[in-house]
Amino acid sequence: MISLPPQAVIREVGLRDGLQSIQTVLPTALKCEWVSAAFAAGQREIEVGSFVPARLLPQLADTAEVLAHAQTLPGLKASVLVPNLKGAERAIECGAHLMILPLSASHAHSLANLRKTPDEVVDEMRRIRAERDAAGSQTLIEGGVGTAFGCTLQGEVKPTEVLRLLAALLDAGADRVSLADTVGYADPASVSRLFEQALRLAGDRFCCGHFHDTRGLALANVFAALQTGVTRFDASLAGIGGCPHAPGASGNAATEDLAFMLQAAGVATGVDLPQLLALRQRVVNWLPGEQTHGVLWRAGLPQNL
């Protein structure tokens, strides 16, 4: 008999992981409209952007403004990605609920994506924790270990290295940690094994799974993780996003498809699916010519749901 938790959280990452991966620069007003509509549809955790230099990611140059809007919505936990201490200082200054420091378990991917080795990122975590504490800030810090199941640049990434880095991030001051299948190499069996090990290592401080749908297994991988007891998952509306180092990638797990799968399995998410599908259509209209993904929107909701 399959045992599933009674509820789960879908953290929307389309406004960061999605928008940074496409050419369209969405106006701030539309981003704020997206946040408000997602909130109205029941989403309570949204990654609103990233504090990176505007010259590198003009798509996310207005993160502070979008974060400020998100903070007007009662009960919404707004998070931001920070690549370094400077980004963390901005997150603290702006009062983000959570900041996520990404780390690639793949040495090659880490150098290509962050220009730091994995252990140098751990050192950055230590500096970020010290800065957060010195500022008396309430902003939580999450260490996200990416390429946890393999890497297009390096190939194999050993589970022992992933677990070592999870432990190192916690020792360096992360409040919690998460795992990401950045390039879509995971499968349900490998997810079950690694997530069970991560839970033994970090307990309830292991908080989230992030799956890309590069090979069509994102939802299957979420289901495998769900069975281990993990109850928070990243997803992107219309499946936008991906990784520049994963040729042929088809984006993130689609928020609407994930919400449907969880609801159909009896796992509550608090998400209103018709409202979410309506928002998906609006967002797709805002992104003409951009590649979107997902399947629920084609057939709609079954009558017996």
How confident is the model over 202-241, as pLDDT tens digits?
Answer: 999 999 999 999 889 999 999 999 999 999 999 999 999 8
Which CATH number is 9-299's, of 3.40.190.10, 1.20.59.10, 3.30.70.1140, 3.20.20.70?
A: 3.20.20.70
Question: Which amino acid, 251?
Answer: G
Q: Which one of the listed residues 94, 207, 208, 243 is annotated catalytic?
A: 243
Question: Which amino acid, 94?
Answer: C
Q: How far apart are CA 243 and CA 152, in angstroms?
A: 10
Residue with tokens 């990452």: 13
pLDDT of residue 89: 98
Residue with tokens 């400077």: 86
C-alpha distances (whole Å) from 186 to each of 61, 152, 201, 229 are 32, 12, 20, 18
The length of the chain, given as a count of residues: 305
243 counts as catalytic: yes
| 53: pLDDT strictly greater than 70 | yes
Contact 111, 117 (CB under 8 A): yes
How confident is the model over 63-80, as pLDDT tens digits?
Answer: 999 999 999 999 999 999
What dihedral do alpha carbons 216, 287, 300, 180 form, nearest 10°?
Answer: 30
How confident is the model over 151-206, as pLDDT tens digits?
Answer: 888 889 999 999 999 999 999 999 999 999 998 899 999 999 999 999 999 999 99
Sign for the CA dihedral angle at 282, 99, 227, 267 comes to negative
**Across residues 100-111, what is the average pLDDT?**
93
Q: How far apart are CA 130 and CA 134, in angstroms?
A: 6
Question: Which amino acid, 123?
Answer: D
At residue 83, the 3 state secondary structure works out as coil
DSSP β-bridge partners for residue 288: none
**Across residues 284-305, what is the average pLDDT?**
92
How confident is the model over 19-32, as pLDDT tens digits?
Answer: 998 899 999 999 99
Sign for the CA dihedral angle at 80, 236, 223, 210 comes to negative
Residue with tokens 């928008």: 19
Residue with tokens 């040729």: 247
